[in-house]
Chain A
Amino acid sequence: MQLFERSATEIVHAVQSGDISAVECVTTFLDRIDRLDGKVNAFLAVNRERALAQAADIDTRRAAGKPIGPLAGLPVAVKDALCTTDFPTTCASKMLAGYRPPYDAEVVARLRRADAVIVGKTNMDEFAMGGSNENSAFGPVHNPWDLSRAPGGSSGGSAACVAADMAPVAIGSDTGGSIRQPAGLCGITGFKPTYGRVSRRGLVAFASSLDQVGPMARSAADCALIMESIAGHDPGDATSLTDAVPSYSQLLNEPLAGLRIGRVAEHYGPGLDPEVARGVDEAFAVFKAAGATVHDVELPHAKYGIPTYYLIAPCEASSNLARYDGAHYGVRAELGKGVRAELGGVVRAELGKGVRAELGGVVRAELGKGVRAQLGGVVPAQPGGVVPAQLGGVVPAQLGKGAGAEYVGSFESPLVEMYCRSRAEGFGPEVKRRIMLGTYALSAGYYDAFYAKALRVRRLIQQDFLEAFKKVDLIAGPVSPTPAFPLGEKTGDPLAMYLVDMYTVGTNLAGIGGISFPCGFTKGGLPIGFQLQGPALAETLLLRSADRFQRLTDWHRRRPPLSV
């Protein structure tokens, strides 16, 4: 077995025992990123030098007999929604292009303390809003099983990089299914813990009562390993749970006999692909063979999950995203006639008439007649002759259409105009749609009919789960109604895209945990995902049940043709 095919658990043991060096391990995965990511586009930033320096430090400490952490030498890819001081953190938005947070997210800090090596930041739907990764400002991710298809979202880059063996483990975030759905569509294992089990500090906020961080890996055993390092109380997150963190990995061996699994009639409604239904039924059979019993349960309000979610999440988002005001960080649109834009604070390009700046991954400003400057280090570009463009290291930003656009209405002051233009230019269409929807649903006269109504239905949905968990230990079913869909198929219809989360949003609304993992493949060779949902703080049971399934099947060991 090649090094890149080994599980995270095996890699960690091999580094601890000295069978392989951390440098060797990190190099292997960095080389795969170099070779494969041109096709997949899973990464928004990779830092080879820094990753190798960290790996070398681990090797030096180990050689000197000094202690190394429980994840020493393990390459980890982190969703670009989590703050990192040594990588830009963009949420795949123009708004945050090039942004360097002044602190690490708590999860990132914990990974570093465990001596994991963060190799890069992964692509995602902008601000985690989407189910296909097509809402990234930096281009979609391609599903490694079929490059013409979406990887799911919003943690599409994290799912795809694990599926393509570009990292053994990735970190995602899940607000309505954003870990489990892309894991299902990419044939990997994705774990959304109970709300509050993993700190949200430094996770760029989308919908704060729903957001949760979790691991994405090839197996439940690897997710258990990562959870041991990232879960636990954080005084910096007031919603973080204080309960002790079990040794998840060591509890995987207990038998499943007596496990009661609920099968939900509501899951088999219209829209469920027959091949997915078949794969899910076969997974139930595997659990029965392992000693579990399957019982019918009802989630009578399941069909209201999507409308409830698409009120609550946009309402919270419209409030959370108010912080992007062009004043403190992020994109600012400058006022005045003609086109003049200030980007990120790191980059500032002042542009005269007819001047167009295209600031993509590599910064490029096209300036006036025949003038073109490649802006890497420090480049004195003075199109206006007044203000120098100051271009720092990494600054991807695209100021195309937005700049200088003709907007309707008038603004009450220059400050408000700057806010409105900056937000118009920095945010993409789906983010704007959700901010608008949330603002509408919270506005005077509509609050009770929409937001307060959704909160009441949220309680009904939570009560459905509480009732069901009186009869069964876990609830199981499909992760998504269909396997991976073609890129572009749903981009013209926001509502159709929202429905991809129909089986996953309930978990977030109820604040409970869920795990998804592959349970088969379609005739066309696409992975089919299975989901288990458990009561609050049933992490051990979810991980153990998924691990048991993976000991009895080998779907999770299959590799996309891309990796061969």
Chain B
Amino acid sequence: MSLSSKDVAKVGSLARLALTEDDLERMTGELSKIIDFVSQLGELDTSAVEPLAHPLDTRNVFRDDEPAPSLTTEQALASAPRHDGSCFLVPAVLGESGAA
């Protein structure tokens, strides 16, 4: 199974990873090889097998709904690339972006 560079560009956009032309070319080859390799799972008939998402038996964990100490605003913002003292600052959420 072979991926096209168009497929890879789409995955890059889903993964929020900007890709250069070089990245695109290299990853198209590498990912195609890896996908071919993992496709060998198709040999197995698993129609009667339940998926196992987690090694432990599924169980819910409850705790009392009581307030407890958590990070202060200052601690939470301490490593932010940009903030105004109470909020994280990011570029415009709406609007045009320059072509990459």
Q: Which residue among A311, A346, A417 has the maximum number of chain B CB atoms within 10 Å of its CB?
A: A417
**Contact pick for B9, options A408, A452, A495, CB 8 Å:** A408
**Chain B: CB-nearest residue to A240:** B61
Chain B residues 80 to 100 lying within 8 A of chain A, measured CB to CB, are: 80-82, 88, 90-100
Tell which of A307, A344, A415, A419 touches B40, judged by Cβ atoms closer than 8 Å. Answer: A307
Within 8 A of B (CB), among A302-358: 304, 307-308, 310-311, 318, 322, 325-332, 335-337, 342-346, 348
Could you tell me if B97 and A456 are in contact, using CB atoms closer than 8 angstroms? no
- Report yes or no: B14 in contact with A443, Cβ–Cβ below 8 A: yes
- Interface with B: A134-142, A176-184, A377-385, A434-442, which one? A434-442
Query: In the bound complex, what is the Cα–Cα distance between A311 and B82 (angstroms)?
Result: 35
Look across to chain A and name the residue whose beta carbon is closest to the beta carbon of B94: A413
A406 nearest CB across to chain B (Å): 6
Number of interface residues of B (CB under 8 A): 61
Asked whether, in the complex, the Cβ of B12 is within 8 Å of the Cβ of A436, the reply is yes
Q: Determine if A460 and B49 form an interchain contact, defined as CB atoms under 8 angstroms apart.
A: yes
A117 CB, min distance to chain B CBs, angstroms:
25
Q: Is the CB of B20 within 8 A of A102?
A: no
Tell me the complex Cα distance, A238–B59, Å. 10
Residues of chain B lying within 8 A (CB to CB) of residue A423 = 15-18
Q: Is A548 an interface residue (CB 8 A)?
A: no
Q: Which of B9, B42, B71, B90 has the most CB of A within 10 A?
A: B90
A287 at the interface (CB under 8 A from B): no
**Contact code string B47-85 (vs A, CB < 8 Å = 1, else 0):** 001111111100001010000000100011011111000
A-contact 0/1 string along B1-15, CB 8 Å cutoff: 001000111011111
Q: Give every chain A residue within 8 A of B39 (Cβ-Cβ).
A: 307
Q: Choose among B35, B96, B97 the residue with the greatest number of A CB atoms under 10 Å from its CB.
A: B97
Residue among A304, A411, A441, A460 making CB contact with B97, cutoff 8 Å: A411
Which chain B residues border A443 with CB–CB below 8 Å?
Answer: 11, 14
Closest Cβ of chain A to B20, distance in Å, is: 5
- Whether A318 pairs with B15 at a CB distance below 8 angstroms is yes
| Contact A332 B82, CB 8 Å, known A304-B44, A511-B56 | yes
Known contacts A304-B41, A325-B16, A407-B100; A310 and B34 CB within 8 A of each other:
yes
Is A450 an interface residue when CB atoms closer than 8 A count as contact?
Answer: yes
Interface membership of A109, Cβ < 8 A: no
Roughly how many angstroms separate A449 CA and B46 CA in the complex, as a whole number? Answer: 11
Distance in Å: Cβ of B7 to nearest Cβ of chain A: 8
Q: Is the CB of B17 within 8 A of A436?
A: yes
Is A409 an interface residue, CB under 8 A from the partner?
yes
**Complex-state Cα separation, A418 to B99, whole angstroms:** 12
A453-464: contact bitstring with B at CB < 8 Å (1 yes, 0 no)?
111111110100
In the assembled complex, the Cα of A494 lies from the Cα of B50 at a distance in Å of 30
Query: Contacts A99-B79, A209-B54 known; A418 to B100 CB distance under 8 Å?
Result: no
Partner pick for B38 among A195, A307, A412, A433, CB 8 A cutoff: A307
A151 to chain B, nearest CB (A): 24
B13, B33, B35, B41 — which one has the most chain A CB atoms within 10 A of its CB? Answer: B41
Digit string of A389-425 for contact with B (CB within 8 Å is 1, else 0)? 0000000000000000111111111111111110110
Q: Could you say which residues of chain B place their CB within 8 Å of the CB of A411?
A: 18, 97, 100
State whether the Cβ of A100 lies closer than 8 Å to any Cβ in chain B. yes
- Confirm or deny: A127 has a beta carbon within 8 angstroms of a beta carbon on chain B: no
Instruction: Indicate whether A293 reaches chain B with its CB closer than 8 angstroms.
Output: no
Complex contacts, A310 vs chain B, CB 8 Å:
34, 37-38
The answer to whether A418 touches B90 (Cβ under 8 A) is: yes
Chain B residues whose CB sits within 8 angstroms of the CB of A413 once the complex forms: 91-97
Q: CA of A410 to CA of B95 in the docked complex: distance in angstroms?
A: 13
Give residues of chain A (225-275) contacting chain B, Cβ–Cβ below 8 Å. Answer: 235, 238-239, 241
Q: Which residues of B contact A409 (CB under 8 A)?
A: 9, 12-13, 19, 100
Q: Is the CB of A420 within 8 A of B11?
A: no
A345–B82 CA distance with the chains assembled, in angstroms: 7
Given A407-B100, A408-B19, 13 more pairs with CB closer than 8 A? A196-B55, A311-B38, A326-B81, A335-B97, A406-B21, A414-B92, A432-B17, A436-B12, A439-B15, A449-B42, A453-B41, A456-B51, A536-B55
A-B contacts, 13 of them at CB < 8 A, read A100-B78, A196-B56, A326-B81, A327-B81, A407-B100, A417-B18, A417-B98, A424-B18, A436-B15, A437-B31, A456-B44, A457-B41, A511-B54
Residues of chain B whose beta carbon lies under 8 Å from any beta carbon of chain A: 3, 7-9, 11-21, 23-24, 27, 30-31, 33-35, 37-42, 44, 46, 49-56, 61, 63, 71, 75-76, 78-82, 88, 90-100
Shortest 9 CB-CB distances between A and B: which pairs?
A511-B55, A455-B51, A332-B81, A329-B79, A407-B100, A456-B46, A414-B91, A459-B52, A420-B18
